[in-house]
Amino acid sequence: MFTEQHTPTIDEHTLQGIIEFVWATLLDEELAAGAAAPIDDAVFSAISIGGPWTATLEVRVSYALARRFAADLLGLSDAELAGEDVDDALGELANVVGGNVKGLLDDGGASTLSLPIVSRTQPTVAGGQLTATCAFTAAGEPMIWELFERP
């Protein structure tokens, strides 16, 4: 585990800026700040960065918000959405944010980005320490991002 003096490699302000930029570019709408409230019927999307700095980035939203995001991203109605479209869209959201986080690392290109994993249960990040939490509200629903660093 990290010592108490550990300074996050990616702080909350930086992560927040990346998420807001990605959301605004993908959906052409602004994200509002929110609270890290419990989410019923949640769906999770996680992506990991490996190399000199190892971390896992997770986003969780309600399944309803995930469907709304996927529909907006794909330009489809809710009725036209397949379950795999929701997983695909939420996975790509984590992928794009994770890629932009990775792009900030001064690692000489040594880091790698995993493929995203979408699940209905919260992924376990073995040995990970929560170093950043960013909470937003989208379409009236919470969206929580968490960054776990591993020593």
Partner 1 sequence: MRVLVADDSKAMRMIVIRTLRQSGVPIDEVQEAVDGADALAQVDTFQPTLILSDWNMPNMTGIEFLAALRGRGDTTPFGFVTSESNPDMRERAIAEGAAFLLTKPFDGSRFADVIGSLVG
Rule CB under 8 A: which residues touch partner 1?
A: 21-22, 25-26, 70, 73-75, 84-85, 88-89, 91-92, 95-96, 98-100, 102-103, 105, 107-110, 113, 115
* Closest CB 116 distance from partner 1, rounded Å: 9
In this structure, are strands 112-113 and 117-119 parallel, antiparallel, or unpaired? unpaired
Nearest to partner 1 of 95, 131 (CB atom): 95
3-class secondary structure, 104? coil
Nearest to partner 1 of 38, 109 (CB atom): 109
Helix intervals (H) in 59-142:
63-74, 83-102
**Element of type H or E holding 27:** helix 12-27
* Closest CB 103 distance from partner 1, rounded Å: 6
